[in-house]
Amino acid sequence: MDIQERQSATESRLDLDMHPILKKIYASRGVVTTTDLRLELAELHPPSLLKNIDAAAALLFHFMQQNKKILVVGDFDADGATSCALFLLCIQAMGYREVGYLVPNRFEYGYGLTPEIVAVATQRTPDLIVTVDNGIASHAGITKANESGIEVLVTDHHLPGNTLPDASCILNPNQPDCDFPSKALAGVGVVFYLMSALRATLRENGWFKAHDIREPNMAGFLDLVALGTVADVVPLDQNNRRLVKHGLAVIRSGKGRAGIRALLEVGGRNADSVVASDLGFAAGPRLNAAGRMDDMSLGIECLLADNPSTARELAMQLDGFNKDRRQVEQDMQVQAMKALEGLDLDANDRLGLCLYNTQWHQGVVGILASRIKDKFHRPCIVFAEAGEEEESSKLIKGSARSIPGLHIRDALDALATRHPELLHRFGGHAMAAGLAIRENDFTAFTDAFEKVLADTMEPDCLNQVTWTDGELVGDCLTMDFASLIREAGPWGQQFPEPVFRGDFKVINHRVVGEKHLKLTLESPDPTVLVDAIAFYVDSELLLKKIQDISLVYRLEVNEFRGVCSPQLMVDKIIDYTAV
């Protein structure tokens, strides 16, 4: 196990009175000046830097002036759900009601604005389709919409292919010649910028005065932006941290969506003191469960609910879906590990893993791919049946997860260039992607994927490194320091929550929930007692009487029955002694 301490290439110039450990943590993440720390909303990148933003706002205004029907077509994940809800809530707050939404059921229509979903949309007779969190790869669907006399406004953040679809307007920070500095915007972030630009356009054209409408405060919608941004695991660059920080403030104030508050509460989190990880590990998975197990419309309705009782009821249903998802995932993981049992990756020189089982649930393959990627530190693609056919062969859908150093979407693009017959469709980001292939081509695809990895992936990528922020002395294992770390975020993708390494004496320990280990630990210098919990511990360790233990951990605030205390969340058990 290679464990290394994060270092900073630049000396910190932060305030002298800042805690030295926090200053070091910030510096290792590129935050070395007070300017780097500034997360005021006034310093968000301006909408004008987004290519086509004025044209997109003008297009919406044109349809609003004509009182034409607008239909939002979303995606079936948390980013898509929050994007859809944000668009609807904002445009309705601006006084427009001729708007509805449609989310493709992943089990019937697949991802994006396909010709099939356009056919369904046409039954609602929209004049304009607005895609959120999708559309940049929907060439055939947009052509179908154009042929049906429906204009399309694409809002997306996924990487485009070599050609763009023939939409009336495309808003995407990753499209060619877009000067927007943050390429890490989530789909919901793109919609937030569009709605901000639309508000400015309506103001300039006297819309609010003519309709006697109070201009909405866009900051009040940032709870949705925070949830979608964190749940989609996009990099938290400074601009995204601004959006997330102020979105968390909206939730804490009690002025945000009742649905988000309900999702947090059924997930056992306190909305009044919510942090980014609560969105990522409690609210996000429950919202995503709707799209994975059933229909994301339920998740969107939860976000749209303005009545706390209704929101709570919908959140409970989503929590039920999440429990079902966990059971399905657990069963799939057992099957996957059995298929990989005895595999010596080094001996077999395997660079990537591709798995397929006809019984696997297509809504859960992404989570399984992530679990396998984490365990074996290899790029992983997990496939399930898609319920579609192509040229007399079943299509199977894959979900890919990558490791640092491999851009998975670019790897798939390289594969498609070499073997255009193998990939039916694909799209995604650096670390995650989705694709579809013919079942008959699974073996050929696996071989082709392995060759692409051999040509594009540096060997060092396969050396898994656990990065820490060093060791904490005992007087830092306190509520004050745990609270300081908690409030110093938001932490997230590419701005990771601080992780520490430490050696402890085990005062006592017990098994909880059959698979988890609850410990009371003593720090060597100075002597401090602190609680710790390790989840999903190997059964062999659960049976031993541990005396000393070396850990990689996060220092968190544990809240139980209104009482807060510091707690170590164990990421890895490095070593231990036992009798």
Q: Smallest Cα–Cα separation from 257: which of 225, 294, 213? A: 225
| pLDDT digit string, tens, across residues 168-203 | 999 999 999 999 999 999 999 999 999 999 999 999
Between CA 82 and CA 100 the distance in angstroms is 14
**pLDDT at residue 436 tops 90:** yes
Element (H, E) at 74: none
Supply the pTM of this predicted model. Answer: 0.92
- pLDDT of amino acid 391: 65
Instruction: Please give the Cα distance from 570 to 509 (Å, whole number).
Output: 14
Q: How confident is the model at residue 111 (pLDDT cuts 50, 70, 90)?
A: confident
CA atoms within 13 A on the CB side of 245: 20
Q: What is the pLDDT of residue 560?
A: 83
Crossing angle between the packed helical segments 187-204 and 222-231, to the nearest 10 degrees: 150
Per-residue confidence at 126, pLDDT binned at 50, 70, 90? very high
398-419 average pLDDT score: 95
Q: In this model, does residue 562 exceed pLDDT 90? A: no
Q: Which residues contact 412 (CB under 8 A, 6 or more apart)?
A: 400, 423, 426, 428, 433, 435
Kindly report which listed range (240-254, 402-416, 480-494, 522-536) carries the lowest average pLDDT score: 522-536
Q: Where in the chain is the domain with CATH 2.40.50.460?
A: 467-578
Over range 104-124, report the average pLDDT: 86
Tell me: pLDDT of 266 over 70: yes
pLDDT tens-digit map of 270-318: 999 999 999 999 999 999 999 998 889 999 999 999 999 999 999 999 9
Cα dihedral 560, 564, 565, 568 in deg (nearest 10): 60
Mean pLDDT throughout 346-355? Answer: 83
Whether the predicted pLDDT of 520 surpasses 80:
yes
Domain with CATH 3.10.310.30 in the chain: 340-462
Instruction: List, by residue range, all CATH 3.90.1640.30 domains of the chain.
Output: 45-319
For the stretch 22-74, pLDDT in tens is 999 999 999 999 999 999 999 999 999 999 999 999 999 999 999 999 999 99
How does DSSP assign 320-337, residue by residue?
Answer: HHHHHHHHHHHHHHHHHH
Model pLDDT, residue 528: 86
What is the residue-wise DSSP string for 385-408?
A: EEEEEETTEEEEEEEEE--TT--H
> What is the per-residue pLDDT for 348?
63
User: Which pLDDT score, from 0 to 100, does residue 521 have?
Assistant: 96
How confident is residue 1, by pLDDT bands cut at 50, 70 and 90?
low
pLDDT at 18: 93
Evaluate whether 71 touches 113 at the Cβ level (below 8 Å).
Answer: no
At 575 the three-state DSSP class reads strand
What DSSP string describes 174-241? Answer: TSTT---S-TT--HHHHHHHHHHHHHHHHHHTTHHHHTT-PPP-GGGGHHHHHHHHHHTT----HHHH
Task: Place 347 in a pLDDT band, splitting at 50, 70 and 90.
Answer: low
By the 10 Å C-beta count (0-12 exposed, 13-18 middle, 19+ buried), 29 is classed as middle
| CA pair distance 76, 107, nearest whole angstrom | 10
What pLDDT score was predicted for residue 177? 97
| pLDDT, the chain, mean | 94
Instruction: Calculate mean pLDDT across residues 82-100.
Output: 98
- Residue 341 pLDDT greater than 90, yes or no: no
Q: Is 211 exposed, middle or buried (0-12, 13-18, 19+ CB in 10 A)?
A: exposed
For residue 386, name the pLDDT band (cuts at 50, 70, 90): confident
Q: Are 473 and 20 in contact (CB under 8 A)?
A: no
Strands 500-512 and 546-560: antiparallel
45-319 maps to CATH 3.40.1440.10? no
Give the span between the Cα atoms of 428 and 407, in whole angstroms.
Answer: 10
Look at residue 542 in the predicted model and tell me its pLDDT: 84
Assign domain 340-462 to its CATH architecture: Roll (3.10)
**Percent of the chain surpassing pLDDT 90:** 84
Rounded to whole angstroms, how far apart are CA atoms 432 and 437?
17
pLDDT over 80 (residue 204) = yes
Q: Residue 145: pLDDT above 90?
A: yes
Report the pLDDT averaged over residues 67-82: 96
**Does CATH number 2.40.50.460 belong to domain 467-578?**
yes
Give the separation between CA 537 and CA 515, rounded to whole angstroms. Answer: 6
Do 193 and 47 meet the contact criterion of CB atoms below 8 Å apart? yes
- Provide the 3-class DSSP secondary structure of residue 164: coil
In 3D space, the residue among 411, 323, 336, 415 whose CA is nearest the CA of residue 368 turns out to be 336
pLDDT at residue 517 greater than cutoff 80: yes
DSSP string of 254-304, one letter each residue: T-S-HHHHHHHHHTT--GGG--HHHIIIIIHHHHHHHHHHS-THHHHHHHH
Distances (CA, A) of 324 to 190, 364, 513: 32, 11, 18
Q: Residue 3 — φ and ψ, nearest 5°?
A: -115, 120
Instruction: Give the Cα separation of 167 and 207 in Å (integer).
Output: 26
